[in-house]
Amino acid sequence: MSWFNRRSRGAEATPTKLDREATREDLAALEEFVASRRGVEFYLEPETTATDTTVVAIAHDGEWIRRRTGTPRAAGSIARKHAVPLYEAARTGYPERMRTWSRAHPERHAR
């Protein structure tokens, strides 16, 4: 009996993409954030089945934005172009200043 395996093997091989791809506007938003703030660092978030590869850009005061980049290579390219450090969020975690800023500005990132 196959009660727990109702999907065909072909369906399992095809990943589901629930989110949109990165756009030029996403990359432009990251570049604008870097140009208009001090001490920006990038934190790379890997692609998942629900979201494309993203970068969280965090300024010196903890203000942050998250945008899609499409690939880790595209994130690295923007980081090199603007001399911004790029960290893997899964390895380093996020800085405390980001959480502090988010608590002080709940209206900005309310979901």
Mapped to the 3 state alphabet, what secondary structure does the chain carry? CCCCCCCCHHHHHCCCCCCCCCCHHHHHHHHHHHHHCCCCEEEEECCCCCCCEEEEEECCCCCEEEEEEECHHHHHHHHHHCCCCEEEHHHHCCCHHHHHHHHHCCCCCCC
In a domain, 13, yes or no: no
Q: What is the span of the domain harbouring residue 38?
A: 24-108
Give me the chain's average pLDDT, please.
85
pTM value?
0.80
How many domains does the structure of the chain reveal? 1
Is 4 a residue whose pLDDT tops 90? no
Does the residue 50 lie in any domain? yes
> What average pLDDT does range 77-105 have in this prediction?
95
In a domain, 8, yes or no: no
pLDDT score of 60: 97
